[in-house]
Amino acid sequence: MTDQAPAPYAGPERVLSGVQPSGALHLGNYLGALVKFTRLQHEIDTFIFVADMHAITVWQDPAQLASQVREITAAYLAAGLNPKVATIFPQSAVAAHAELAWIFNCVARLGWLDRMTQFKDKAGKHKERESVGLYTYPVLQAADILLYKATHVPVGEDQKQHVELTRDIAGKFNHDFDAPAFFPLPEPMIEGPGARIMSLRDGSAKMSKSDPSDYSRINLMDDADAIAQKIRKARTDPEPLPETLDELKDRPEAMNLVGIYAALDGRSNAEVLAEFAGQGFGAFKPKLADLAVAKLGPVGEAMRDYMSDPGEIDSILAAGAERARSAAAPTLAQVKKLVGFWGA
């Protein structure tokens, strides 16, 4: 007799992802996440949330948080997400995220969380002063994804490890509760230009909302002058651009600017080098600034338009929350039954 592997999840494909309302959205969030969401909504059932529960893992001013949630929603809409096609909702409006996260806290192992590099990066030398939420944030992220049985998670490179943890949690849950086909093992969708945009001040650090230097990033709401100035001041080196990507290996700042140009223009890094090889940054930076202004200017403009009507944003979020709650309810009910909770 041969042992047959249990049948894995065979449900429909679904996309889920989100962005934290923890500050101004930047070019990395746009290229690494928003552009992908917009494309995917036409291919797969897509759920995109505003991760306000994740945002409070570090201090957020309560007077600002709701308006930051609206700002992220405005960015989604400005990037091209259509609330009639994708489900757009605030995480905290769906209580099931927190309920499932608790159950997953009891499935995930401490050793797994100890390996998460983003916590180490964010906590730095003083981890004992950080919130418990910052440490267990990847478990909440697993709940965000699996509550909707999402099969695909479009994210930037920095989130790859968290999606892998989600797969581990899904696998252990399915095994522990003898339900091999219950949760899918979701795939991160990282490929493509823009998966890892680096700081304009330091080619070894990713572009981030929480970087204290505003010159490290291009914000989606920056005007043309600010964009051009930040690119002009971006750290580079005195060498001209080379002919091959290999020669850029030890020049992270130069590589980053070439990567940004390629991602904004929908071309490969090699194609950009083919056009600019031999030119110095004095020539390349103004071209990059023109391209960035042409691509991002309309996005910032549209964001401002959406933000001028907070009532409209709120009704989009309320309708999305309703849809998300309906999609989440059966999964949570089945999970409670599998776990053996009273009344489930």
When binding is defined by CB under 6 A, the residue of 14, 15, 16, 29 that contacts ligand AQP is 29
Contact criterion met (CB below 8 Å) for 37 and 156: no
- 249 labelled catalytic: no
Residue matched to tokens 């500050």: 23
**Least separation, in Å, of the C-beta of 28 and ligand AQP?**
3
When binding is defined by CB under 6 A, the residue of 14, 20, 108, 293 that contacts ligand AQP is 20
158 binds ligand AQP (CB under 6 A): yes
Q: Which of 149, 206, 230, 285 is catalytic?
A: 206
Amino acid symbol at 267: R
Task: Please enumerate in sequence order all residues whose Cβ is within 8 A of that of 283, keeping only pairs 6 or more positions apart, or say none.
Answer: 276
Task: Identify the burial level of 109 via C-beta atoms within 10 angstroms of its C-beta, where 0-12 means exposed, 13-18 middle and 19 or more buried.
Answer: exposed
When binding is defined by CB under 6 A, the residue of 78, 155, 231, 317 that contacts ligand AQP is 155
- Assign 198 to helix, strand or coil: strand
**Least separation, in Å, of the C-beta of 341 and ligand AQP?**
30
C-alpha 160: how far from chain center = 10
Looking at the Cβ atoms of 104 and 119, the one nearer to ligand AQP is 119
CA distance linking residue 179 with residue 124, whole number of Å = 39
Q: Which of 160, 172, 209, 287 is catalytic?
A: 209
Looking at the Cβ atoms of 51 and 327, the one nearer to ligand AQP is 51
- 206 labelled catalytic: yes
**Least separation, in Å, of the C-beta of 156 and ligand AQP?**
2
28 binds ligand AQP (CB under 6 A): yes
Nearest to 299 by CA among 107, 118, 79: 79
For ligand AQP, which stretch binds (CB under 6 A), given 4-12, 79-87, 204-212, 293-301? 204-212
CA distance linking residue 77 with residue 344, whole number of Å = 38
19 binds ligand AQP (CB under 6 A): yes
CA distance linking residue 89 with residue 96, whole number of Å = 13
- 233 labelled catalytic: no
Contact criterion met (CB below 8 Å) for 317 and 71: no
For ligand AQP, which stretch binds (CB under 6 A), given 41-49, 153-161, 268-276, 286-294? 153-161
x/- string (CB under 6 A) for ligand AQP, residues 315-334?
--------------------
When binding is defined by CB under 6 A, the residue of 93, 197, 234, 254 that contacts ligand AQP is 197
33 binds ligand AQP (CB under 6 A): yes
Q: Which two tokens stand for residue 57?
A: 């893992």
- Assign 186 to helix, strand or coil: coil
Contact criterion met (CB below 8 Å) for 143 and 53: no
Which residues here bind ligand AQP, judged by CB under 6 A?
19-20, 22-23, 28-29, 32-33, 51, 155-156, 158-159, 194-197, 206-210
* Catalytic site positions: 122, 206, 209
